Each structure stands twice: as structure tokens, then as C-alpha cells.
Amino acid sequence: QVQLMESGGGLVQAGESLRLSCTASGSIFRIGIMRWYRQTPGKQRELVATVTSDGTTTYADSLKARFTISRDSRKNTTYLQMTSLEPEDTAVYSCSGRIFATPTTWRDYWGQGTQVTVSS
């Protein structure tokens, strides 16, 4: 069994920064692509950023100037550094990961999410 656990959310003021973490635990052979999403009530879930196992990153166009995704393979942890936060960034942030249990078998897992609230 594999679990993804997010942490680092909270309440901040506009202009401040936060770093979210997503740690995978359990029966892991290796970790493939990792993704951060966010969702606010009444809106569609938005893909924020992705990072592959070789470190290649992609971002939502509107966020690439302020958000940075990274990973530490030794810790099975993926990070989302968010700077210059705006009230519009308020959302539940969730991570998703492609976890390989063997060299050829994998499944996508989701964390439960962490709330980020940005006050004006």
C-alpha cells in the first residue's frame, strides 16, 4: 500500500510565500511523474505543475513565474514553492504521483490535500 501525504498549507497574507510538501510512503519501487493540483469550491480542478523522475518540469502558464516544483528522490518527497501569493491562490492543493510497485507495474495515487488560504 502506498500513501501520499501533503503538508505545509496554512493561512498567509498576500505577498508571502509557502512551501508545500508531498511525501510518498509504502511499497515503492520507484516514483514516476509527480503533479500538484489545486481546487476551489465550484471550480474545476487545475493542474498547477508537474515534475518527472529526471527533473523535467511543466507549469500552468499563469503560475510559472511564482511557483516552483521540485523533488528529492532520496526522501520520496515533492515540493511546491509558492511565492508572492495572492488571494486567488486560495485553494486545496493536492499531489498525485505515479508509483511503481515493480519495474513494470504502477498506479496513480492521490494525497488528501492541504488547504492554502491567502488573505488580502
Per residue in 52-95, pLDDT (tens digit) is: 999 999 999 999 999 999 999 999 999 999 999 999 999 999 99
What gap in Å lies between CA 90 and CA 40, rounded to an integer?
A: 7
Q: What's the confidence (pLDDT) of residue 76?
A: 97
What stretches of the chain show up as alpha helix (H) in DSSP?
Answer: none
Cell of 78: 515533492
Q: What's the confidence (pLDDT) of residue 87?
A: 97
Residue with cell 513494470: 104
DSSP state of 87: G
Q: Is 66 helix (H, G, I), strand (E, B) or coil?
A: coil
What gap in Å lies between CA 120 and CA 117, rounded to an integer?
A: 10
Side chain identity at residue 98, one-letter code: R
Confidence of residue 111 (pLDDT cuts 50, 70, 90): very high
